């Protein structure tokens, strides 16, 4: 029987959904972070569940290394909590992700179907176009970084190799500015302090920079502008998001620009504005690959009706509208719906869209009369928690009444597998297509085409 704090010598024979190594000892399944299949490791049990016969251990030493092990590109790997596969060869990472997707689809949904090889990112490093850094304090100085794994403690960073070359000078400039002005970092323990997050989105060389703080009153914004000028030239905007809540959300409800410049750019043939609340996939290369496959599944023409139930600003529907199809975007956030109206107007396709503010489960039944005589695609790209059981029941009911394609884009294999089991009126049209939207992390984007049984 494995006891807490016991030292173990383990042979790693599999990898888990979060990238952790899996071993078996004394009839226990033991999870060891940052260990790879084929390795022998020395580890110490941290927590043990005797009833379920599982244990979680911390690695101490790699006794026999896997040929897939590489030197991590980041000195903070294993501490900051951001990456899961920085120690693995990229080809091995893709193999592990595909295996895990196949396993969880079979286990949770009973689905044994063709799964494509994971579509790789053109670069497993430097791919992220967005950063959400946390302000903290160390030795009386302001620092920027990410939370350590499963804590609210900030791991200070000088750079992050998942982001572009702008990351290192940006961290340096913002922390220098904050320390020069003797500013404070917000503490969730004391609920005091000024600076909370630095949020940055960089698309086509234009940066949207936001300081999230507990107040709009931030000193020396001119000094911060001067520092950002040296990094981005005139290709950026700067704003302040006020967030004085005690919750865990990042952006606040109020926003004020310190410096606003024209930010219209062309992304995948679509005219868009880069702003603090704009949603784009974090990996430009994989975003293009996903939408190429998605448009191929829809095959848009003048008879197409594309219904996006979690539409955001409606970016996905623009190519369908440009191909002559009809688009209905449903989004629960009114501000996003107003932005969708502007987006379609800017791209000259306002006559092809209806943007609706509301809950998808309430709106969808009212749209059924518009399905008649159309080649209908219902598209769902929900948050990580997936769709609700009520939405699944609604889609099942509608599948019995109407003929339509259902396309599901998921960023969470666990909730995807759960939802596929709930969508009992549908069957998967193979292949399932995974995309490595988030290299070096355990996350995976998956595109699935379903049709009514």
Tell me the helices (H) and strands (E) count for the chain, helix number first.
Answer: 9, 21
Distances (CA, A) of 446 to 10, 286, 288, 358, 384: 32, 11, 14, 26, 12
Query: Does residue 402 form part of some domain?
Result: yes
Distances (CA, A) of 105 to 101, 129, 402, 421: 6, 30, 27, 9
Does residue 150 surpass a pLDDT of 80? no
User: Residue 300 — very low, low, confident or very high, per pLDDT cuts 50/70/90?
Assistant: very high
Which 3 state secondary structure label does DSSP give 445? strand
pLDDT at 35: 98
Does residue 76 surpass a pLDDT of 90? yes
**If you average pLDDT over residues 302-325, what whole number do you get?**
95
The b/e string for 240-255 (b: 16+ C-beta within 10 A; e otherwise) is bbbbeeeeeeebbeeb
Total domains in the chain come to 3
Distances (CA, A) of 377 to 161, 245, 299, 362, 418: 38, 39, 10, 18, 22
Query: Does residue 122 form part of some domain?
Result: no
Q: The whole model's pTM is what?
A: 0.93
Residue 14: which domain range?
A: 7-64
Does residue 406 surpass a pLDDT of 80? yes
pLDDT at 148: 87
pLDDT at 320: 96
**Rounded to whole angstroms, how far apart are CA atoms 261 and 269?**
21
Query: Does residue 123 form part of some domain?
Result: no
Residue 176, phi then psi, degrees to nearest 5: -60, -45
- What mean pLDDT, rounded, does the chain reach? 95
Query: Does residue 17 form part of some domain?
Result: yes
What CATH number should be reported for the domain holding residue 27? 2.40.50.140
pLDDT digits (tens, 9 = 90+) for 101-144: 999 999 999 999 999 999 999 999 999 999 999 999 999 999 99
pLDDT at 386: 95
pLDDT at 268: 85
Query: Does residue 322 form part of some domain?
Result: yes
Which 3 state secondary structure label does DSSP give 420? helix
**Rounded to whole angstroms, how far apart are CA atoms 177 and 8?**
48
Domain boundary among 64, 85, 105: 64
pLDDT digits (tens, 9 = 90+) for 332-381: 988 889 989 999 999 999 999 999 999 999 999 999 999 999 999 999 99
Q: Shortest CA distance to 395 belongs to which of 355, 367, 417?
A: 367
| 325 lies in the same domain as 363 | yes
**Rounded to whole angstroms, how far apart are CA atoms 138 and 121?**
35
- Token pair in block for residue 274: 């880069």
Does residue 279 surpass a pLDDT of 80? no
| 289 lies in the same domain as 244 | no
Query: Does residue 118 form part of some domain?
Result: no
Torsion, Cα of 435, 22, 146, 233 (10° steps): -30
Q: Looking up tokens 């690959």, which residue turns up?
A: 289
Does residue 280 surpass a pLDDT of 90? no
**If you average pLDDT over residues 42-55, what whole number do you get?**
96
pLDDT at 151: 81
Domain boundary among 46, 64, 82: 64
What CATH number should be reported for the domain holding residue 230? 2.40.50.1070
| 339 lies in the same domain as 387 | yes
Does residue 440 surpass a pLDDT of 80? yes
| 295 lies in the same domain as 346 | yes
pLDDT at 152: 83
Strand 426-435 versus strand 206-213 pairing type:
unpaired
What CATH number should be reported for the domain holding residue 330? 3.40.50.150
The b/e string for 111-131 (b: 16+ C-beta within 10 A; e otherwise) is beeebeebbbbeebbbbbbbb
- Token pair in block for residue 397: 């009911």
- Of 223-227, 396-400, 419-423, least confident by mean pLDDT is 396-400
pLDDT digits (tens, 9 = 90+) for 173-221: 999 999 999 999 999 889 999 999 999 999 999 999 999 999 999 999 9
* Count of beta carbons in the 10 Å neighbourhood of residue 79: 14
The answer to whether 167 and 198 are in contact (CB under 8 A) is: no
Domain boundary among 240, 273, 306: 273
pLDDT at 419: 97
């Amino acid at each position: 029987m494995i006891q807490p704090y016991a030292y173990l010598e383990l042979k790693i024979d599999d990898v888990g959904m979060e990238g952790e190594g899996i071993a078996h000892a004394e009839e226990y399944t033991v999870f060891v972070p940052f260990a790879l299949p084929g390795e022998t490791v020395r580890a110490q049990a941290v927590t043990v569940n005797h009833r379920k016969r599982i244990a979680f251990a911390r690695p101490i030493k790699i006794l026999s290394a896997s040929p897939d092990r590489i030197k991590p590109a980041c000195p903070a790997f294993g501490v900051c909590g951001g990456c899961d596969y920085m120690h693995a060869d990229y080809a091995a990472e893709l193999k592990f992700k595909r295996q895990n997707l196949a396993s969880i689809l079979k286990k949770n949904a009973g689905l044994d179907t063709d799964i494509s090889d994971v579509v790789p990112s053109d670069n497993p490093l430097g791919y992220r176009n967005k950063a959400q850094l946390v302000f903290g304090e160390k030795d009386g100085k302001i620092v920027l970084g990410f939370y350590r794994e499963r804590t609210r403690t900030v791991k200070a960073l000088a750079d992050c190799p998942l982001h572009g070359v702008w990351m290192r000078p940006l961290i340096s400039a913002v922390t220098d500015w904050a320390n020069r002005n003797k500013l404070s970092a917000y503490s969730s323990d004391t609920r005091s302090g000024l600076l909370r997050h630095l949020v940055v989105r960089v698309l086509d060389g234009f940066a949207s920079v936001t300081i999230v703080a507990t107040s709009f009153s931030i000193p020396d914004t001119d000094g911060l502008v001067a520092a950002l000028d040296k990094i981005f030239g005139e290709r950026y905007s700067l704003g302040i998001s006020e967030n004085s809540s005690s919750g865990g959300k990042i952006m606040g409800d109020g926003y004020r620009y310190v410096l606003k410049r024209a930010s219209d750019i062309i992304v995948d043939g679509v005219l868009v504005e880069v702003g603090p609340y704009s949603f784009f996939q974090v990996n430009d290369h994989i975003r293009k690959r996903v939408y190429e496959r998605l448009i191929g599944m829809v095959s848009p023409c003048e008879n197409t009706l594309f219904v996006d139930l979690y539409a955001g600003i409606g970016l996905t529907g623009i190519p369908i509208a440009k191909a002559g199809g009809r688009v209905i975007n449903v989004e629960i956030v009114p501000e996003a719906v107003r932005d969708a109206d502007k987006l379609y107007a800017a791209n000259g396709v306002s006559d092809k869209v209806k943007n609706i503010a509301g809950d998808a489960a309430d709106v969808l039944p009212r749209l059924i009369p518009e399905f008649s005589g159309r080649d209908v695609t219902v598209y769902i790209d929900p948050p990580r928690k997936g769709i609700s059981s009520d939405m699944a029941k609604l889609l099942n009911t509608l599948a019995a009444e109407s003929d339509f394609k259902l396309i599901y884009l998921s960023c969470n294999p666990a909730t995807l597998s759960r939802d596929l089991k709930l969508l009992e009126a549908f069957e998967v049209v193979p292949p399932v297509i995974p995309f490595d939207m988030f290299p070096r992390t355990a996350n995976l984007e998956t595109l699935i085409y379903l049709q009514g049984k």
